[in-house]
Amino acid sequence: MARLYATRRASYPAAMDKRFLITGGAGFIGSHLSERLIRAGQRVIVLDDFSTGRIENLSSVLPSQNFQLVRDSVENELTVNTLMASCDAVFHLAAAVGVQLVLDEPVRTIRTTIHGTEVVLDSANRFARPVLITSSSEVYGKGTRVPFDEDDDVVMGPTSTTRYCYAYSKGIDEFLGLAYFKQYGLACDHRTAVQYRRTATGGPVRDGAAAIRHRGTEE
């Protein structure tokens, strides 16, 4: 299991009845997270542009009075700021999803991943909201050491190979999260950024087209 990037403990209270913003919440992980939070008595706002997420994934939480769905891009600063002001914490899951999408639309992949995270972090910092940033095991690159470690040196493929734009973009996400913490995090105890690198996941409502190929697959 990947180690959390947590450079300090947040003093944010673990009280019930919080409102959580989930970007990319109509995807596989986001929809399950929404269900879990709603069952726990929390309130949830999902922000998703449905470029890869599906409304069907949220069918079990749509009827809940504790659930709100906003259809828009995570790159829309006005929308993100509005939702950030009304939430207590953020799960930032929005990103380009699917190997084929990465290969077919590298510009969209890079913009959605990096600029989306920049918008979320800037807003979270402005409103002093704790945020969880989801990275990817792709950031480990071509490392052969087992188990992987976040402090390992990284060997990545060439920038001329399109598939690596996702890994590089997620790496920039991590740099952004750590930079926002180091530069602004000391000003407020409950302003913190936590990052984790997830591996390929599977389960109910998982879209097979979004599965990660073997690292040897290149284009």
Q: What percent of the chain has pLDDT over 70?
A: 77
CB 101 within 8 A of CB 52: yes
Q: How confident is the model at residue 194 (pLDDT cuts 50, 70, 90)?
A: low
- CA R_g for the chain: 17
Residue 66 φ/ψ, nearest 5 degrees? -90, 5
- Which of these, 174, 210, 216, 182, lies nearest to 2 by C-alpha position? 174
Q: CB within 8 A of 208, min separation 6: which ones?
A: none
Higher pLDDT: 121 or 209? It is 121
**Domains defined along the chain, listed by start:** 19-200 (3.40.50.720)
Reply yes or no on whether the pLDDT at 64 is more than 50. Answer: yes
Biggest CA-to-CA distance, the chain:
48
Closest CA to 152 of 197, 95, 102, 109: 197
Catalytic status, residue 5: no
Mean residue pLDDT of the chain comes to 80
56-60, 94-98, 100-104, range with the lowest pLDDT: 94-98
Among residues 140, 164, 166, 180, the one annotated as catalytic is: 166
